A and B are shown apart, each in its own frame.
Chain A
Amino acid sequence: MIYLLPWLISILQGFFLLTALIPAAARPRMPLLIFWGALTGMATTALLTFTSFLFFNTLIPAYAIGINIGAIPALFLMARRNTLNLPFAKGSWDRNDLVGLHVLLLFTVPVILHALLFPDGGWDAWSCWNLKARFLFLGGENWRGMMDPALWRSNIAYPFLLPLENVWFWCFGTEPNTTVTLATTCRITFLMSGLLFFGLKELRGRISSILAPLWVLSIMFIVKLASSQYSDLLVGVWLLSALLGFRLFVERRCAAYLTLALMSLGFMGFTKSEGLMLAAITLGILGTVVLFSNELKRMALGSWKALLIAGLLSFLPTLIFQIFWAPNSHTFINGLTSADKPASLERLQAALMFLGLEFISPKWNAFWLILCGGIILGGTRAFRRGLWIIPAIIGAYILSIVGVYTVNTFFEILWWLSTTLNRILFALVPALVFWLFLAHEKN
């Protein structure tokens, strides 16, 4: 029960941060505000916990708890100032929202049941993510031991937003238990499905949006990956959050949503190396689109300031990690320059073949075929008013990933593809479903 407290703190933090950022007139309805706030708060509590390592070179639980609780009244005052006498959200829960919420809870049950079968998570959970969390929690001043070259099998060059989230919860207990890591993966899955449903409902105004998360959660393979305690889930969540922010920015012409999109990308960059690559691609494409639009000229000075400060702060942990701490990757051989292990056309062919095989694999329950069919049926609407950026981002990301598989010749290609490609695709699922459901809407 004690672990409900850190969750409550992160929800309040995220909720007030969102209400402090978004002007009252442009805010979404309460359900979306809560789900989006809970996700944003999850990242902010983790990053505030990170400051303990930054300032004291060790985890001080009392400091982490203090700074996280202390941030709430500060954010509340900012939110209150931004709200004046208006209600916090534009609309409250309606009956459909409540029905949807209960159905989402029901569809999260399989994830919980599967997670309970494997309390320590999948391979990468104990060999990488939860291992990092244990170093952060137990390591004292030697927490950077998690980046020791002797641990090269454990992705030492990866950043650690998910481990920090678990550490934040562990601050309320005495030991690094699996209850927290297991609950975190289920919580993120639930929040992701809520963000997908309420985000789509905000944009489409239809209860049929509930089919989007339910479809995702009905696929056993996704249930398995979602309950594995991997960071790929976080990559998927932050991509969805960034795209939702950008969509609302386009539709409501409110700069605060662009700030939220930028923050989401900052959080995504701190999840894992693939997340950083995806964040850079998304930032490049979104940045180009926004710079060439007229929206920026209309933005007030205050909005510019918020955009730059929030963007800088959310990317700061990634910058600090990459510049000062990240060790060289021991699992990278540049096949373009290596004489021993050169890149070859066979690697490229294998990557493309595996991509094709994943798309038709029965484990996905025809997800990719339905997705492609649905997009084709959507016709030109699927690419209207800024929606084209979703396939552009995902296409560029997949091309980059195929490039990495081809060029990095450290791993035996077939083994590497068979163990990692499905997780990379899994992280794209929420964003792709979001696109499909918007692809059939009129302007």
Chain B
Amino acid sequence: MRRPLWLTRQNIVLSIISIALIGGAFETIRELTALHARRALQPYSFGGDIFAGVKGASGQEKYIGYITDRDIKNDKVSARFTQAQFTLAPVILDFNNINHRLLILDFQDLKQAAALGEKMKLRLLKRSPQGLLFAERLDL
């Protein structure tokens, strides 16, 4: 029996691709619908926005020390730090480096932040509702 003319290798591949395409398109629509429904319940927010208040107060400073008691190896903490960096660019955030005039204190334990402030004689410039402290070293 002769093979029908339309039954070429190319047509077989194109047919399989068409099936995958239709399946993929339905899957994409389903997933996008679910994502949009979830977003309607929980509006988008960018983690770095909580650091926006520091922007105006940092002036022409090139570096700000970012001091925290959180573990940077944790993805959430790492994201928080890099989003802060994104928001404050072109200022450079120096992670856990206290040798800068301006410091952001991002502490879970505010008592520790207060103790550090006292020890280093920091002047508080700003305090955000989320507990971020923006301070200046008076000895530099």
- Asked if chains A and B come from one complex, the reply is yes
List residues of A whose CB falls within 8 A of some B CB.
107, 110, 113-114, 117-120, 123, 126-127, 130-131, 134-135, 138-140, 142-143, 145-146, 148, 150-151, 153-154, 208, 211, 214-215, 218-220, 223, 365-367, 370, 373-374, 377-379, 436, 440-441
Question: Contact at B79–A123, with CB atoms within 8 Å?
Answer: yes
For B82, the chain A residues whose CB sits under 8 A away are: 123, 126-127, 131, 153-154
Give 1 or 0 for each of B38-78: 1 = CB within 8 Å of chain A CB: 01000010101000000000000011000000000000001
B62:A218 contact, CB within 8 angstroms = no
Query: Provided the pairs A142-B62, A440-B9 are in contact, do residues A150 and B93 lie with their beta carbons within 8 angstroms?
Result: yes
* Contact, CB under 8 Å: B90 / A143: yes
Judged by a CB distance under 8 angstroms, whether B89 is at the interface is: yes
User: How many interface residues does chain B have, given as a range?
Assistant: 35 or more
Is there an interface contact between B62 and A378, defined as CB atoms closer than 8 Å?
Answer: no
Which A residue's beta carbon lies closest to that of B90?
A139
A295 to chain B, nearest CB (A): 28
List 23 A-B residue pairs with CB atoms under 8 Å apart, sorted by A's residue number: A113-B32, A114-B32, A114-B35, A117-B39, A120-B86, A126-B46, A126-B82, A127-B82, A134-B90, A138-B90, A151-B92, A154-B82, A208-B14, A211-B18, A215-B21, A218-B20, A218-B28, A365-B23, A365-B27, A370-B17, A377-B12, A377-B13, A378-B13
Taking a contact as CB atoms under 8 Å apart, the answer to whether B35 and A117 are in contact is yes
12 more A-B residue pairs beyond the given contacts A366-B20, A370-B20, A441-B10, with a C-beta to C-beta distance below 8 A:
A119-B44, A123-B79, A126-B48, A146-B90, A148-B92, A211-B18, A218-B23, A218-B25, A219-B28, A220-B27, A220-B31, A367-B20
Query: CA–CA, A130 to B89, complex, Å?
Result: 10
A150 touches B21 (CB 8 A): no
Q: Which of A214, A378, A440 contacts B21 (CB 8 A)?
A: A214
Contact B89 A211 (CB under 8 A): no
| A215-B97 Cα distance, complex, nearest whole Å | 49
Q: Are A145 and B28 in contact (CB under 8 A)?
A: no
Known: A127-B86, A131-B86, A142-B62. A211 touches B44 (CB 8 A): no
Please tell me if the beta carbons of B21 and A218 are within 8 angstroms of each other in the complex: yes
B127 at the binding interface (Cβ < 8 Å): no
B94 contacts A150, C-beta separation under 8 Å: yes
Chain A interface SS verdict (over half):
helix
The 7 tightest CB contacts between A and B, nearest first, are A218-B24, A139-B90, A440-B10, A127-B82, A134-B89, A374-B13, A126-B86
Residues of B within 8 A of A140 (CB): 90
A138 to chain B: closest residue by CB: B90
Contact of A110 among B12, B22, B28, B44 (CB under 8 A): B28
Cβ-defined contact, B17 with A110, below 8 A: no
Min distance, Cβ B124 to any Cβ of chain A, angstroms: 24
Of all chain B residues, the one with the shortest Cβ separation from A133 is B89
B36, CB-defined interface residue at 8 Å: yes
Are B14 and A211 touching (Cβ within 8 A)? yes
B46 touches A120 (CB 8 A): yes
- The complex places the Cα of A223 from the Cα of B31 at a distance, in Å, of 11
Q: How far is the CB of B32 from chain A (nearest CB, A)?
A: 5
Which residue of chain A has the shortest Cβ distance to B94 in the bound complex?
A150
Closest CB in chain B relative to A441 CB, distance in Å: 8
- When distances are taken between beta carbons in the complex, the residues of chain B under 8 Å from A220 are 24, 27-28, 31-32
Q: Provide the residues of chain A in CB contact with B14, threshold 8 Å.
A: 208, 211
A162 CB to closest chain B CB (Å) equals: 15
| Contact status A215-B32, CB under 8 Å | no
* CB <8 Å contact, A131 and B89: yes
Complex Cα distance, B62 from A150, in Å, reads 12
Residues in A neighbouring B90, C-beta threshold 8 A: 134-135, 138-140, 142-143, 145-146
B20 and A117 within 8 A (CB):
no
Q: Closest Cβ of chain B: how far from A62's Cβ, in Å? A: 20
Interface residues of B in 79-107 (CB under 8 A from A): 79, 82-83, 85-86, 89-90, 92-95, 97
Cα–Cα distance between A110 and B82 once the two chains are bound (Å): 28
B7 interface residue, CB < 8 Å from A? no
Q: How far is the CB of A118 from chain B (nearest CB, A)?
A: 7
Please indicate the chain B residues that have their CB under 8 angstroms from the CB of A377 in the complex.
Answer: 9, 12-13
- Judge whether B1 is part of the interface by a CB distance below 8 angstroms: no
Across-interface contacts of B20 in A (CB, < 8 A): 215, 218, 365-367, 370
Assembled-state Cα–Cα distance A134/B46 (Å): 16
Q: How far is the CB of B105 from chain A (nearest CB, A)?
A: 18
> Which single residue of chain A is at the shortest CB-CB distance from B65?
A150
| Of the residues B16, B39, B97, contact of A370 by C-beta under 8 Å | B16
Least CB distance from A434 to B in Å reads: 13
The residue on A at minimum CB distance from B78 is A153
Min CB–CB distance B81 → chain A (angstroms): 8
Residues of A within 8 A of B83 (CB): 126-127
Give chain B nearest CB distance to A45 CB in angstroms. Answer: 23
Nearest chain A residue, comparing its CB with the CB of B91: A145
B13 surroundings in chain A (CB, below 8 A): 370, 373-374, 377-378, 436, 440
Q: Which of B21, B22, B35, B92 contacts A145 (CB 8 A)?
A: B92
Q: How far is the CB of A227 from chain B (nearest CB, A)?
A: 11
The answer, among A110, A154, A379, A440, for a CB contact under 8 Å with B85, is A154
Residues of A within 8 A of B140 (CB): none
Residues of A within 8 A of B18 (CB): 211
List residues of chain B with CB within 8 A of the CB of A118. 44
